[in-house]
Amino acid sequence: MLGPSFAEAVYLRRRWIFTLVIISACAVLGSYYAALFGGFTTRPAAGRYFLVDVQGEKFVVKVTDGEALRLAEERMAGLNRMFPLGELARGDGGFNMPWSWHLKPESVRMVDASIELCDGLPSHVESDLDYWVDVVGQYCPWSAEIVASADEPADLHK
């Protein structure tokens, strides 16, 4: 066999050109979409970071809920005595350095009261992380003071 016939060669060439045109169009449209809408990546939920002091131990919490944001700002201003409560997760979440845990931002609320089981120091959570994450499941430091806030967590670690 010597290769494709002339008609087959023309067909394959046209198909190849059509494929290149489609790929090029996708690239152009993709670039247009990225420029128009700010890219393809999903953005993290908007929110604010708060530095929380619990009897001299500090941790950072990200708050995304509108009502919780308002109440956290009021707490920082001394207008209420509420404290954060949220679901625990392993890892620092990208903001709670140097701890190996964080509160899931979408779960954080500001509360007046909670069960005693979830109260404690950040170091208590750190020292028995499996128990806190797997059994208790949440953290609610009753004596928490919100001492600072920022749009970026790095601003709280200076």
For 52-94, the pLDDT digits (tens) are 999 999 999 999 999 999 999 999 999 999 999 999 999 999 9
For residue 30, give every residue at least 6 positions away whose Cβ sits within 8 Å of its Cβ, in sequence order, or none: 40
Looking at residue 57, its pLDDT comes to 98
Q: How far is the C-alpha of 14 from the C-alpha of 138, rounded, in Å?
A: 62
Q: How confident is the model at residue 45 (pLDDT cuts 50, 70, 90)?
A: low
pLDDT in tens, 89-114: 999 999 999 999 999 999 999 999 99
| pLDDT at 25 (0 to 100) | 64
The DSSP call for residue 117 is G
**CB contact at 8 A, 133 and 89:** yes
Q: Which residue has the tokens 């996708």?
A: 26
Given a contact cutoff of 8 angstroms between Cβ atoms, the answer to whether 27 and 58 are in contact is: no
Tokens 């964080």 belong to which residue? 102
One-letter amino acid of 82: M
Q: What is the mean pLDDT of residues 138-156?
A: 96
